[in-house]
Amino acid sequence: MKQVAVKFVPCLLSDDQRANSLDVCREMKDQLKTDPDFLSKIITGDESWCYGYDPETKQQSSQWKSALSLRLKKARQVKSNVKTMLICFFDIEGLINFEFVPQGQTVNQQFYLEVLKRLHDAVRRKCPKLWWSGE
């Protein structure tokens, strides 16, 4: 028996969840057979934490020293305490919409609904082929 890191253990699904996942995969496979452009119609999204850095330029970090002085040492730059969440949406062509969550804002149902409304407008502007309205 050997020890395995938790991040390498696959998600444990119930039998119903596994069956549902398999059904969805089969439906998508069938849809791809009937519509070759199916994958180009999918828009997906992701969230990620972004850390703020303020790196020095080479000129800012240079210092004067004499020929006899010791070589100066510089500590490695660490992650900033400034972090924000980035929410982005993309399709097969690339990025459609992205936005940074304001500091202190909780990502809840109301906030995400506003994000999806802005995505709605971005899809209408940037992807007219994907846009369809029943109005």
Reported residue count of the chain is: 135
Shared domain check, 119 and 98: yes
Shared domain check, 135 and 123: yes
CB count within 10 Å of CB 97 equals 20
Shared domain check, 27 and 93: no
Q: Which residues contact 80 (CB under 8 A, 6 or more apart)?
A: 51, 52, 53, 54
Run means of pLDDT, 10 residues per run, the chain, 135 residues: 54 84 91 88 90 69 72 64 88 92 91 95 86 52
Residue 106 to residue 85: CA distance in whole angstroms: 10
The position carrying tokens 């500590």 is 75
Which two tokens mark 39? 């994958």
Shared domain check, 37 and 90: no
Cα distances from 80 to residues 50, 86, 103, in angstroms, run: 10, 16, 14
Residue 57 to residue 111: CA distance in whole angstroms: 37
Shared domain check, 110 and 47: yes
Could you list the residue range(s) of the whole structural domain that residue 18 is in? Answer: 13-41
Position 13 scores a pLDDT of 78
Position 7 scores a pLDDT of 55
Report yes or no on 122 lying in a domain. yes
Q: What is the count of structural domains for the chain?
A: 2
Shared domain check, 135 and 118: yes
Position 90 scores a pLDDT of 92
